[in-house]
Structure 1
Amino acid sequence: MSDTDKPQPQPLLDDEALDRLDDFLESDRVDADALDLIGAHGFLVALAVAPRDVPAATWVAELFHGEPSFADEAEREAMLGRLETLRRNAIAVLEGGGLPELPFDLALGGLPPEETPIGDWCAGFMEGVFLDETAWFAEDEEAAATLLLPFMLLSGLFAEEPDMAELANDGERLEALVAQLPELVLDLYLHYRVPPETPKPKPRRKAPAGRGKRKK
């Protein structure tokens, strides 16, 4: 597929909603270990892709690393509503075969992934995987590992593993994976959320004309 044929990535939240989330996640009313906006974006996209739904109470507690100090119930509903909207919009985009717009430039610029927003986003994505790891690997562990490898590699969370070290030093390969991230997310969604089409029954072969008829 040429670049002109590719669907254009679609934003999952408008700029104002992202700015409000960013301000809140960076505030002192949120635990210092909570995910930042980039990590939360990756985390919620992973939840949109996940093989089964995770209860909101579970993922909210994980994202915020506890319960934030919301000013009031209205602020709580607004912030949680934006997060849920991001997750639902990701599902809608992917369900339609579209690509999610990621909140960073798709290029490392010669830096290690873990020193860029790309690494932060992929680390957040992997946090979403860890939340229900059994479900991600239950059906086909080998296929899951292959599909998740780019996210694992770019997250920097597995840098100490011998199998990852050689791949992590291949700058050209890393840049190629970064450029493909929206497509890789869609591949994961199709793998987990869209069942394969059932094969159509083969048409019965018709007997050649005249076959089976008694000659007069």
Structure 2
Amino acid sequence: MSDDKPQPLPLLDDEAMDRLDDFLESDGVDADALDLIGAHGFLVALAVSPSDVPPATWVPELFHGEPTFADDAEREEVLGLLEGLRATAIEVLEGGGLPELPFDLELGGVPPEETPIGDWCAGFMEGVFLDEPAWFAEDEETAATLLLPFMLLSGLFGDEPDMAELAKDGDRLESLTTQLPELVLDLYLHFRVPPETPKPKPRRKQPAGQNKGKGKPKRKK
């Protein structure tokens, strides 16, 4: 039996990811800035976001302030890689593809917040928080349902009783982890791809003379 599930696609190549990692771990970046895993989740959230968040808003949020670049060339390089990751995520999701996430999709019994999975989902939620009203403006209930796995795996909501209870279900957490790429696509389709409007049905032509003088058909009671 063949598996028709599409293979996840990388959003940046290994060399670009290493370059970003080096910069985000450098002394030129605030210690509270997002690391590579968190930044990846953050930028994927911006790709999914129902509102277009400008770089002037998201760059200082990602870096927790203004990073120190060696020169204009480095600024252009680093910001170009970050924007490229977001743009590639949009391209992949727009084509119905799945994003490749920079970690293994399994918890192995470890709490999510102690893994890269939790870091990625926390970064994703940071992207949501940038314009939270936009995510819930149209259909709050559906948005909350679609975002629940990211919230649960992020470990950011452990103080909420309902979330703490759900977090005790290890099998559920493991299942959500394996589904993360598909869950990202579900969110993108919900927020970014408008539902197809049904085409109007063609009206049947009546043979000449039929129903003449009878008026409109009455609706059955």
TM over 0.5: yes
> Shift of the alpha carbon at 1:3?
7.1
> Normalised by the size of structure 2, how large is the TM-score?
0.93
Tell me the amino acid that sits aligned with residue 42 of structure 1. Answer: G
> 1:120: which partner in 2?
119
> 2:200: which partner in 1?
201
Distance 2:65 2:155 in 1: 24
> 1:189: which partner in 2?
188
SS in 1 for 2:144: helix
Q: Which runs of 5+ in 1 are unaligned?
A: none
| Alignment RMSD (CA, Å) | 1.6
> Per-residue displacement from partner, 1:68-87 (whole Å, max 9, x unpaired)?
11000000000000000000
* Aligned residues between the structures: 213
> Shift of the alpha carbon at 1:203?
2.1
> 2:11: which partner in 1?
12
> Normalised by the size of structure 1, how large is the TM-score?
0.95
For residues 48 and 72 of structure 1, do their structure 2 counterparts lie closer, same or farther at Cα, with a shift above 3 Å needed?
same
> 1:102: which partner in 2?
101
- Residues 53-62 or 197-206, more deviating: 197-206
> Shift of the alpha carbon at 1:199?
1.1
List, as ranges, runs of 4+ consecutive aligned residues in structure 1 with deviation greater than 2 Å: 205-213
Tell me the amino acid that sits aligned with residue 129 of structure 1. Answer: V
Identity of aligned residues (%): 84
Distance 1:4 1:13 in 2: 25
Distance 1:173 1:203 in 2: 47
Distance 1:5 1:100 in 2: 16
Tell me the amino acid that sits aligned with residue 102 of structure 1. Answer: L
> 1:51: which partner in 2?
50
Distance 1:166 1:34 in 2: 30
For residues 3 and 152 of structure 1, do their structure 2 counterparts lie closer, same or farther at Cα, with a shift above 3 Å needed?
farther
> Per-residue displacement from partner, 1:109-167 (whole Å, max 9, x unpaired)?
11000000000000000000000001011111111100000000000000110110111
> 2:219: which partner in 1?
none
1:35 correspondence with 2:34: yes
1:23 correspondence with 2:22: yes
> Shift of the alpha carbon at 1:30?
0.3
